[in-house]
Structure 1
Amino acid sequence: MIVIPAVDLRDGACVQLVGGEYAEERVRLEDPLAVAREWARLGFRRLHVVDLDAATGRGSNASAVAEIVRHGGVDLVQAGGGVRDEAAVERLIDAGAGAVVVGTRALEDPDWLREMAEHYPHQLVLAADVRERRIVTRGWQHTLPRVVTDVLEELHDVPLAAVMVTAVHLEGQMRGTDLPLMEDVAEAAHVPVFASGGVSSAGDLRALADRGVAGAIVGMALYTGALDPRAIIEEFHED
């Protein structure tokens, strides 16, 4: 299993939110490119970059995303946030993103997801944000009437790069991961699964690995120093 630092963008800064709530911003670093370069310097080879403002319709951090993709110093950036049409997918790929993260439109319009995946095979990461196993979209503001495992089972023939499942109810709280959820997701998915939300220790990461999870997106625990990045890279490195 690999660990991927999260670089969440809001108002031009790198932030970490608690529980997916904008009012609960715990970390704010004003230079996202410097943050990305520091993760690269420490040895991480992949970043997960999300434009939170675009995801919630509050604005855009497109220039910051492009800077990180082009100059962040890592091998691969998977980037997203508000990607709801083919033009947005193309912009990120043209900018150099190794994978594009799609969420709201992809989950609300499965035909669009299938079409985009066929146009860009193995370049899309489907981001499913989950509360109590139900998918939430539009920046965690809208709940779909379906559970995540049912959705993933229906996507078995769609050529995705990966599926990222975020336990939004645990996001940024460092109270441990939703292991039953992630184990069921790993069994239901037919592509690699990235887990996000609640990671607080190396033990959490080992437990995810034991349940078949391919990668973990980690934010708060890295930014607050709860996890030693060098030790994490040594144990959970990308070959």
Structure 2
Amino acid sequence: MILFPAIDLKDGQCVRLKLGNMEQATVYNPDPAAQARAFEDQGFEWLHVVDLNGAFAGESVNGAAVDAILKATKNPVQLGGGIRTLDHIESWLSRGLSRVILGTVAVRDPALVIEACKRFPGQVAVGIDAKGGKVAVEGWAEASELGVIELAQRFEGAGVAAIIYTDIDRDGILTGINWASTLELAAAVSIPVIASGGLASIEDIKRMLEPDAKKLEGAISGRALYDGRIDPAEALALIKAARG
């Protein structure tokens, strides 16, 4: 089980949004590379990065900030937001990224995701962002009629490394992870699932470690870490103890 600290990038800064609204961005650190180092120093093993501007633009916008993060930390980094082509994927992986997250393109062009998994085994994740049980695309700005499980099952056997499942209705507002829908998804596919959206307290960490959540790869935490609602040492100690 892995706790992924999140760095969301908007205009080169580390921010958090509420409910995916770009107009409701709180700047937590103007220096994302420094934030990446801080998370590594606290003992985290991975880093989850999202190029928010890129998610809306359909191409990398905060590339310089991501490059700085990659230079600043030894931890593996996964990146989502605006990665829509095989060239984008190859470019990022060649620059030191450990895993790319494909969201909108997984809906628009699932064949590209399958091809990416063949070319870059173990380095391609699918991001499924849902609102009201339906998948949202284009930086959460557009809703589709596609169900979460329906989309996830399209990639069974394709070699997808993980599914990052975000409940938009809970993102950034500290109401707790939507465990019902997250565990339903995890039970429906063999692909490891990473929970995102709403992680609020150490109780969510404990819930993540219960037996019925064993199919989860982990969870992503943003605002709860930045606001001090979760103590990194306590959370990481619980996870370490659960690993035995």
Counterpart-to-counterpart distance in 1, 2:85 and 2:181 = 29
Partner residue of 2:239? 236
Aligned-residue sequence identity (percent) comes to 32
Counterpart-to-counterpart distance in 1, 2:174 and 2:77 = 24
Q: State the secondary structure of the residue aligned to 1:225.
A: coil
Q: State the secondary structure of the residue aligned to 1:97.
A: coil
Matching residue's letter, 2:77 = V
Gaps of 5+ in 2: none
Partner residue of 2:161? 161
Counterpart-to-counterpart distance in 2, 1:28 and 1:14 = 6
Matching residue's letter, 2:33 = L
Name the count of aligned residue pairs. 238
Counterpart-to-counterpart distance in 2, 1:103 and 1:163 = 10
CA displacement 1:32-79 (0-9 Å, x = unmatched): 0000000001111100011111111187110111121232232x1111
Matching residue's letter, 1:12 = G
Deviating beyond 3 angstroms after TM superposition, the runs of 4 or more aligned structure 1 residues are none
TM-score by length of 1: 0.95
Matching residue's letter, 1:214 = E
**Does residue 219 of structure 1 match 2:225?**
no
Counterpart-to-counterpart distance in 2, 1:65 and 1:45 = 17
Q: State the secondary structure of the residue aligned to 2:155.
A: coil
Counterpart-to-counterpart distance in 2, 1:232 and 1:68 = 23
Counterpart-to-counterpart distance in 2, 1:231 and 1:6 = 18
CA displacement 1:72-102 (0-9 Å, x = unmatched): 232x111121000111101110111111111
Partner residue of 1:113? 113
Q: State the secondary structure of the residue aligned to 2:209.
A: helix
Q: How does 1:94-133 map to 2 (within 5 A)?
A: 94-133=94-133
Partner residue of 1:72? 73
Counterpart-to-counterpart distance in 2, 1:144 and 1:233 = 37
Q: How does 1:176-191 map to 2 (within 5 A)?
A: 176-191=176-191
Counterpart-to-counterpart distance in 2, 1:234 and 1:174 = 22
Gaps of 5+ in 1: none
